[in-house]
Each structure stands twice: as C-alpha cells, then as structure tokens.
Structure 1
C-alpha cells in the first residue's frame, strides 16, 4: 500500500492562518520592544503579508521592514502586500531576534521574532515578556533568558524522571505508586 502525504508550503501556511502577535498596550511607558511576532516559517516573503495586514489597522501603513539575515535564509528586497510593494532591508548589526517595521505616518516599531520551531509554552512566555510596557529587556536578552528557563525546566523534568525511575516514588507493597500523604502514621502521632 502506498501513502501519499501532501506537504503544505510555508507560504500557504502563513496565508492560511492569522499572524501570531502580542503587542504592547498603548501606554506612556516606552520600552525596548513593541511586542512579539511568532511566524510559522522562515519564509519572509510568505510571512510578511499577514503580519503587515494585522498591523496596518492599529499602526498605519507599513512601508519598510528590516531584519538581520542570520535568522532568514532568503531576504527578498521587496514583498508584494495588497497590491503594493513592501521594502525589505537587512542589517547584520541589527539584533538577529528583532524585526523593525517603519511607517511614514506613525514611526517605528521593534518586534521580538520568536523562531518558528519554538515550543508553544516557550513562545507564550516570550510573547508575554516582549509586550510588557516600559520593559528595558532587548530581544537578545529575552531569547537568552528563555534558553536558560527552558534548560532549567528540561533539567527539572529529567531529575524528576530519574527520581521516579530509581525508586524515589512511594510504592505500595503490591508495586504500584501511592501518594506520599498516604503513608501510614503511628496511632498516637509522633513518638
């Protein structure tokens, strides 16, 4: 029997789903980032149109985008968006985990770019952290912090699995785990 799997190209995937965004609420506190964006792929030409469409209502017409090419395999010079061309530039000096959006009418916004392969729990933490009003944390610092947090969580889960696997769990005489609070206590309490 032959099975045929149809692969959805990243461009089709990005166009099918709305942009995953977390934006800083409008306040008087200015921070380093204006929010976070979690793309579905590393295809800028496919990912930018839904992002720009989602941001044009609250931010106005976006005319330019800059990225660091370290995180994007192909950086096109222009991307078609709603019948017009969005100019895309790249700078190696720019933080690799940041996307800068420019508009003639309103100004500039900096978004943390969460890698597409990021686990949902980690992406959620990053989206919340990037949208804190007045935060002085940069995109690079947030990504470094998440790497440390993620490593700590993985280490804790590994230690717990070792503990449970080596007999650290309380076992009944019949070989099944029991809760630690179910241990028998002496009749008169402590002696």
Structure 2
C-alpha cells in the first residue's frame, strides 16, 4: 500500500474493502472493550466508512467517533459514510490505542485499534484477546502485553536460527530448569558406551 507524506494511505486501495474487526459475543459479562479493529491505514476518512457499515447491524447507526490524534495524522471533522455523515472528535486524554463509537440506538462501542503495520499473527492474537467477554484489560495493556509476547517469540526464533546456522539439526540446547542458568552443555564431549548386558 502506498503512503503519502502525511501518513495517509492511497484511498483507492482502501475504500470498498471490509473492516477487519472482532466483537465480543452478546453476553451479560461487561468488559472494558467491545472488540478490536485492525485498519489498513492511518487515514480515518478512508477507514471509517467500512467500520461504520460493519457495526451498523449490531450497534445501529454510528453517528460520532472519538479518537486520540497520536496515531492519526489527520482527524477530519466529518466523514461521509453510507447514508449520513459521521462526526469525528479527538481527545488527547483518551487511550491512543482505542476508538470510541457512539450510536443513538445502542450507546457506546469501545474498540482496541491495532496498528495497520502489525504482523498478521500478532494482530490475530489481539483481535482474539480484545473480544473476550468480561475482560478487564484496557487497550494499552493489551498492546504492551502483545509487544512483550512478540519480543519473546522473536528472541526464541533468533535462538533457533543461530543454532541452525552452526549446522545443528536439533533445537538449541536449553539450560536445565533446576541447574544454574549459566550451566551449558559440554561441547565436544563423547558418549562412553555401556557394556552389554549378558544376563548373568
């Protein structure tokens, strides 16, 4: 996807695509989030129509959106969506990883906003975690938790790559959980065969 200097995506590539979205199932368990949204760009004018359309069946007509401008280069005052105008406001006090959508009929919908450049595996984990009913995790907590998870996965992968680059076929040796973490297997040691059992 091509990107302009102000960070907005080429709208021709974004418009008309369905919103990438997960919503909590209908339940009496109220959580801090109602799901997650993974936009394809940081262009609100291009991304909001598909989101509003996707939410209309469950939340009714979305009339107002609130964002933190930290992750959005341009925050338009109004965005044309199917059949009406969507009013957009911003607050620097709002969690930058969250978007709030307001509807006259159903009330308020709070969604985690997954950055467009997020790797698909990481985005899938966030889409699932944000849609858990009754979760008390805030948007910022989910993002920082996922950052830590992604970092551990990268470190583990880099360890395997280093082992394979040295000609090993098995995974890199891990220290024994009971032994000191500085303990390492002895390199170059050979196995001494045991004498065969003769049955005597």
The TM-score bracket by the shorter chain reads: 0.7 to 0.9
What is the CA–CA distance in structure 1 between the aligned matches of 2:196 and 2:103, rounded to whole Å? 76
Q: Does the C-alpha gap of structure 1 residues 11 and 186 become closer, same or farther in structure 2, counting only changes over 3 Å?
A: farther
What is the CA–CA distance in structure 2 between the aligned matches of 1:82 and 1:164, rounded to whole Å? 54
- How far has the Cα of 1:10 moved from its partner? 3.2
- How far has the Cα of 1:14 moved from its partner? 2.3
Tell me the equivalent position of 2:72: 72
Tell me the equivalent position of 1:38: 38
What is the CA–CA distance in structure 2 between the aligned matches of 1:156 and 1:165, rounded to whole Å? 14
Provide structure 1 residue ranges, at least 5 long, that are not aligned to the other structure. 1-5, 171-184
Moved over 3 A (4+): 6-10, 185-189
Q: Per residue, is there more helix in 1 or in 2?
A: 1
In the comparison of the two structures, how many residue pairs are matched? Answer: 170
Tell me the equivalent position of 2:100: 100
Tell me the equivalent position of 2:24: 24
What is the CA–CA distance in structure 2 between the aligned matches of 1:164 and 1:45, rounded to whole Å? 47
Tell me the equivalent position of 1:134: 134
Q: Deviations over 1:37-96 (max 9, x none)?
A: 000100000000010011111110111000000000000011011242100000000000
Question: Would you say the 8 A contact 1:67–1:89 is kept in 2?
Answer: yes
TM-score normalised to the size of structure 1? Answer: 0.83
Provide structure 2 residue ranges, at least 5 long, that are not aligned to the other structure. 4-8, 171-192
TM-score normalised to the size of structure 2? Answer: 0.80
What is the CA–CA distance in structure 1 between the aligned matches of 2:121 and 2:109, rounded to whole Å? 25
Question: Would you say the 8 A contact 2:99–2:112 is kept in 1?
Answer: yes
Tell me how large the CA RMSD over aligned residues is: 2.1
Tell me the equivalent position of 2:59: 59
